Amino acid sequence: MSTSLASLVSAPGGVLAGRYADRTGKRRGVVLVALGVLAVTVATLPFLRSVSAVIAVNACLGFALAAVAPVLTMLVVADTPEDRWNGRIARLNTFQGYGSTAGLVVGTVWTGTVASVASPGVAQRSLFLFAAVVGLASVVLARRSMPRPEGFDVGPRRSGRVASIVARSNRRVRDATFSFGSNRLYLGLRSIARPRLGDLRRSLPTTLWVYFAAAFVFFTGFATFWAPLPLYLTDVGFASGPVVALYLVNNVASAVLFEGAGRVTARYDVRLVQGGALGLRATAFVGVSVLGVFGVGVVTGGQTSALVAVAGLLAVVGLTWAFIAVAGTAIVTRDAPGRSRGAVLGTYAALSAVGGSLGRLLGGAVAAVSFVLAFAVAAALVFAGGGS
């Protein structure tokens, strides 16, 4: 419940960050601030004692994650021919995939090693602090590696434009009721956050709105599947070690195929590729539910064979995610008007967050009745989204 609520609260992060990047062009700054917030929130989490504080800080964490996603996509496709966008998006996802896989491995090894010589609480708190240090290191690396904004060197013409902008700004401030810094900040944030939904609705093609609706449905289906999966795996008899290994299989499967997904989506109709991947992923969800119907021991003939069977299904889930992620980002990036690409990508990220929140609640509620039914509902939602 707390994860779903935090994810829901963080959903506007992508929209606001994308809109800010569209209006100001300060993509580099958005990424650096978001990474800094991530590091600070991760360092804070292990010292919180109330549920409400955890939810609030977790919402900040999700807000920063949602904010950085669309802006990173804008950065990787900037000043790049459109026929190379799929490859760039795939490369970004590859690094993210290997990063998440490395995080899963490090977290598992760290907690197991430290817990063997200290308490589990010490192991968890030290892991969070280590993650915060890695987050701060990412800020430093990003600051050094990301390109500077265009026009960083101020020439005579640009300095004249800056002086004109400053003069107009000063006139607006003098006309305001309050001219203090807090009021300026409020006015600036309000101008960025102003939705202008009518302008956005008119500027987007109908096909993109239809895709947004379909994406919301299949993102909800994804979360409906993942929410009860850990409890299901434990319920059928897998220990914590094999469960971590299964998640690792899923992560590695997607990470190794992102590059290939970029090549395939660049060569073939990206919507057909994604539709096929969604159908295959939903079929894998059904496979998991079939194991639940008959029992993993009956279907596979033993615990080891059961582990292999589930690993195979989760590998398919991971492989299909590579195509879904690359194709979805490519569709939205291409169909979005250039002047509002950040806001549109942020909207796509927000749909993912809201669908994830709804899916987690739905998956948990249905799984209380039956795991098999929860996986079947997840598959139905993915089929429905893929067929839209």
Per-residue pLDDT tens over the stretch 252-273: 999 999 999 999 999 999 999 9
Q: What is the mean pLDDT of residues 295-322?
A: 77
Q: Which two tokens mark 315?
A: 């590998």
pLDDT value at 165 more than 70? no
pLDDT of the residue at 203 = 67
Please report the sign of the dihedral spanned by the C-alpha atoms of residue 341, residue 358, residue 65, residue 232.
negative
Tell me if 298 is assigned to some domain: yes
Closest by Cα among 243, 214, 232 to 366 = 232
Residue 160 belongs to some domain of the structure: no
Mean pLDDT of 313-321: 95
Name the residue with higher pLDDT: 174 or 300. 300
Q: What is the pLDDT of residues 13-29, one digit of tens each?
A: 888 888 888 888 888 88
If you ran DSSP here, which 8-state letter would residue 340 be given? G
- pLDDT at residue 162, as a whole number: 38
Average pLDDT of the segment spanning 366-388: 92
The three-point CA angle 169-170-172 to 5° equals 65
pLDDT at 148 over 60: yes
Tell me what pLDDT residue 178 has.
36
Query: Does a structural domain hold residue 79?
Result: yes
Range of the structural domain that residue 21 is part of: 2-147+206-387
Confidence (pLDDT) at 368:
93
Distance between CA atoms of residues 155 and 328, nearest Å: 40
pLDDT of residue 317: 96
Residue 162 in domain: no
Residues 6+ apart with CB under 8 A from 126: 110, 114
Closest CA relative to residue 36, chosen from 74, 70, 68: 68
Is the pLDDT score of 155 beyond 60?
Answer: no
> Is 194 a domain residue?
no
Q: How confident is the model at residue 307 (pLDDT cuts 50, 70, 90)?
A: confident
State how far the Cα of 41 lies from the Cα of 63, in Å rounded to an integer.
11
Determine the Cα–Cα distance for residues 372 and 216; give it in Å rounded to an integer: 22
What CATH number is attached to the domain comprising 118?
Answer: 1.20.1250.20
Give residue-wise pLDDT tens across range 93-119.
Answer: 999 999 999 998 998 888 888 878 888
Q: Which of 5-9, 341-345, 355-359 has the lowest mean pLDDT?
A: 5-9
Coil vs helix vs strand at 274? helix
* HSE, side-chain direction, 13 A CA sphere, residue 123: 15
Buried b (16+ CB within 10 A) or exposed e, 15-28: bbbbbbbbeeeebb
Phi and psi based region of residue 237 (left: phi greater than 0; alpha: psi -120 to 50; beta: remaining): left
Nearest CA-CA partner of 314 in 381, 216, 214, 222: 222
What sign does the CA torsion over 316, 322, 328, 334 have? negative
Q: How confident is the model at residue 362 (pLDDT cuts 50, 70, 90)?
A: very high
Residues 238-259, mean pLDDT to the nearest whole number: 91
Residue 384 pLDDT > 90? yes
Instruction: Yes or no: say if 331 and 196 are a contact pair by the CB < 8 Å rule.
Output: no
pLDDT at residue number 152: 41
Handedness of CA 119, 105, 305, 226 (dihedral sign): positive
Average pLDDT of span 346-357: 90
Paired tokens of 162: 């800056």
Q: Is residue 9 domain-resident? A: yes
Specify the number of domains making up the chain. 1
CA 191 to CA 199: how far, in whole Å? Answer: 15
Q: For the stretch 37-48, what's the b/e string if a residue is b when 16 or more beta carbons lie within 10 angstroms of its beta carbon? A: bbbbbbbbbbee
Reported as a single tens digit per residue, the pLDDT across 211-230 is 999 999 999 999 999 999 99
CB atoms within 10 A of CB 29: 16
- For every residue of 87-122, DSSP letters joined together read HHHHHHHHHHHHHHHHHHHHHHHHHHHHHHHS-HHH
The pLDDT value given to residue 382: 97
Residue 167 in domain: no
Q: Which residue has the higher pLDDT, 87 or 10?
A: 87
Predicted local confidence at residue 149, as pLDDT: 59
Residue 273 has a pLDDT of 94
216 part of a folded domain: yes
- The residue among 258, 374, 270 whose CA lies nearest residue 321 is 258
Q: How far apart are CA 248 and CA 388, in angstroms?
A: 31
